[in-house]
Amino acid sequence: MVRPWLRLIVLAAAAWLVAGQPAEAQLGSLLSPGRLAKGHANLEGLANCQQCHESGRRVTAAKCLACHAPVAQRIQRRRGVHKDVTDDCVTCHSDHAGVNGELRPFDPKAFDHTAATAFPLDGKHANLAAGCAACHKQRTYLDQKTDCVSCHQDVHRPTLGSNCQTCHSTTAAFDELGTGFDHTKAAFQLTGAHKAVTCAKCHANQQFKGVAFSTCASCHRDPHRPAQGAACASCHASTDSWRTRQVDHGRTIFALLGRHQKTECAACHKQPAMRVKPKSDTCASCHVDVHRGAFAQDCRSCHNETSFAKAPFDHATTKFPLTGTHAPLACAACHKSLAGQATLPAARRVADFRGLATTCASCHADVHQAQLGASCETCHTDASFKVPSFTHATPAPFFAGGHAALTCSQCHTPQGALGVTQPVRTGVSLVAAIRYRGVATTCVTCHQDVHLGQEGAQCESCHTIDRAKFSVPGFAHAKTSFPLTGAHETTQCALCHKRETAAFPAGTGSAVRYKGVARECRGCHQDVHLGQVEARCEACHTTTVFTIPKYTHRNATRLSRFFIGAHTRVTCAGCHKPATGSFPAGRGTAVRFAVAATCASCHTDVHRGALGPDCATCHRL
């Protein structure tokens, strides 16, 4: 059974044959899927099919490349858009789409010109990406040159070479180069006012090479008459403006130093400096002589340009060199402005620099009220007005020992006798009127009499300044009415001389008693005999030892018969025993000295009075 579609083909073929067309053409049209593109129009017809199609096969790359040899070469060399092609050509190039069919389909918007060609379309070139034909006039794009002159006219007439990128870029149009050119790449850098100059001002007739710029005179006319030379930068230090406020005055006969460097030009140059030269041989040409001729016009001997007010004057050249605390003083501290000039500016005040007195009292108040005369330097120095050390001439022994460490103010105190009631102000402190002359040297002038007049005013008879706190090194009691002997020599003073509150020669008060101390033994020692013996203890005792080693009874004739025999060997205590009872000094316990000479006063009467009291009748010693 014949298939329907085959039947249709046969009928269509018959119809075309009947129409009178050539048989070959009619059959090619019948079998072709469509008309070939304009570029392949010469291959139209059934007889040309095998130029592109293999027998029984589709179009192969070999058939395409056999005809398109240049493309084959680019694929082999891996150049152009076919450098990475590995598929058949029909993958991208499809024919039989009609006479106006596109054999080379291409989307300019999707094409990365930078990656594919290494020629980025940026800046002013960016709008060319949509229209390739603006640059690519030929069928192949690989032969397109990338140098600027291939598209643009060289208006510089090759004076600047072919590397246009040295000056131009795609960011600005060529006619906008005046604001877009980076002049730092040129030999002449644009600074200051040069930045605002148009290109044509210097580059006339498009001349960019060989423009003279070695000196300012290459472009600028020298306005100075007479001419000042070619070194314009010595005065015109900045290109911001040709007007200058700073000139290298060192090139003139009057170099500007110190404060002169800050002086405005118009302060001296009343007329144009190029025409009138101001006088500069003396300071008085510009400055007022505030000394009114007191000194010679050579101001530099005292002043310099650093500061007219604080002149580094060498005062050592005068009869009063400034040393010590005088050295940092300002001139005005001594050299006062004349009366009535306090309101004038400092530069116009007249100060007195001649005839000043050099004595201390001419500047400093005499806080001693003329006690010590006018020669302050005898005690003071200009290093410090405080007296660091002073050696008294006389009396030398008085300032030794405990007196050596004393400060002046401990002896020299304010004295009302000078008639000064208010303290006198000095530069840094308040100093009261202090007595320096006629100060007494007796001890009681400074020291309190702790003895309240008992020992008189001659303290040195006992005390010495060589001992700490003026203690008594050793008192010679032998000079008194009670010499110390025996055990008294080692007795402490306080055991006899006690502190008491009573009336003393200097008045009532508390003091150690030295005068009026009893000299009898009973003044210090207790009467252990309770008045049995006389008050003169020394009749029996001595200061060497108070015990009695041997005693000779008085009335030896009367007692001669008593101290015989066994009585000669009896100790004192054998007869004189302690007893409690009434004694001449009162009742108490003491050794009884008044003893009866009878035997019964010591011996027991074994006869109980039967033989009477006279034991010697029968007994013998």
Question: For 171-184, how does the pLDDT look when each residue is reduced to its tens digit (9 = 90+)?
Answer: 877 776 655 677 88
- pLDDT tens digit sequence for 28-70: 555 678 888 888 888 888 888 888 888 766 888 888 888 888 8
- pLDDT tens digit sequence for 213-267: 888 888 888 777 666 677 787 777 778 877 776 677 777 778 888 888 888 888 8
174 assigned to some structural domain? yes
94 lies in the same domain as 168: no
10 lies in the same domain as 93: yes
26 assigned to some structural domain? yes
76 assigned to some structural domain? yes
Burial classification of residue 403, based on how many CB atoms lie within 10 Å of its CB (0-12 exposed, 13-18 middle, 19 or more buried): middle
Distance between CA atoms of 336 and 325, rounded to whole angstroms?
19
Q: How many other CB atoms are found less than 10 A from the CB of residue 570?
A: 11
- pLDDT tens digit sequence for 552-574: 887 777 888 888 888 888 888 88
Distance between CA atoms of 59 and 96, rounded to whole angstroms?
12
Tell whether the model's pLDDT for residue 8 goes beyond 60. Answer: no
Q: How many other CB atoms are found less than 10 A from the CB of residue 82?
A: 19
Are 435 and 417 a contacting pair, CB within 8 Å?
yes
Altogether, the residues listed in the chain come to a count of 621
10 lies in the same domain as 88: yes
21 assigned to some structural domain? yes
Peptide bond into 328 cis (omega under 30): no
82 lies in the same domain as 168: no
554 assigned to some structural domain? no
176 assigned to some structural domain? yes
Helix (H) or strand (E) holding 188: none
Give the pairing type, strands 424-425 and 430-431: antiparallel
pLDDT-derived band at 425, boundaries 50, 70, 90? very low
Which pLDDT belongs to residue 544? 87
Tell whether the model's pLDDT for residue 147 goes beyond 80. Answer: yes
Domain boundary among 48, 71, 98: 98
pLDDT-derived band at 20, boundaries 50, 70, 90? very low
CA 416 to chain centre: 50
pLDDT-derived band at 511, boundaries 50, 70, 90? very high
Tell whether the model's pLDDT for residue 473 goes beyond 70. Answer: yes
93 lies in the same domain as 10: yes
91 assigned to some structural domain? yes
- pLDDT tens digit sequence for 513-551: 988 888 888 888 889 999 888 878 888 888 888 888 788
What is the mean pLDDT of the segment spanning 465-472?
84
90 lies in the same domain as 174: no
Distance between CA atoms of 425 and 266, rounded to whole angstroms?
50
- Name the more confident of 14 and 346: 346
Are 608 and 546 a contacting pair, CB within 8 Å?
no
Beta bridge pairs of residue 587: 582
Closest alpha carbon to 355 in 324, 312, 302, 318: 318
Are 287 and 308 a contacting pair, CB within 8 Å?
yes
- pLDDT tens digit sequence for 365-422: 887 877 888 888 888 888 888 887 788 877 788 888 888 888 888 888 776 444 444 4
- What are the DSSP E strand ranges found in 100-192? none
Distance between CA atoms of 88 and 57, rounded to whole angstroms?
13
Q: Which domain holds residue 175?
A: 161-203
Peptide bond into 505 cis (omega under 30): no
Average pLDDT, the chain: 80
Distances (CA, A) of 79 to 76, 141, 233: 8, 11, 59
pLDDT-derived band at 578, boundaries 50, 70, 90? very high
Which pLDDT belongs to residue 583? 92
Which pLDDT belongs to residue 412? 82
81 lies in the same domain as 167: no
- pLDDT tens digit sequence for 587-602: 999 999 888 878 888 8
pLDDT-derived band at 83, boundaries 50, 70, 90? confident
pTM over 0.85: no
Are 358 and 320 a contacting pair, CB within 8 Å?
yes
CA angle 482, 486, 492 (to 5 degrees): 70
Domain boundary among 59, 81, 98: 98
- Name the more confident of 423 and 266: 266
Are 114 and 121 a contacting pair, CB within 8 Å?
yes
Q: How many domains does the chain have?
A: 2
Show Cβ contacts of residue 352 under 8 Å, excluding neighbours closer than 6 positions: 335, 336, 338
591 assigned to some structural domain? no
Domain boundary among 74, 98, 122: 98
Place of tokens 């960011």: 171
SS3 581: strand
Token pair, residue 348, equals 């116009």
Are 290 and 348 a contacting pair, CB within 8 Å?
yes
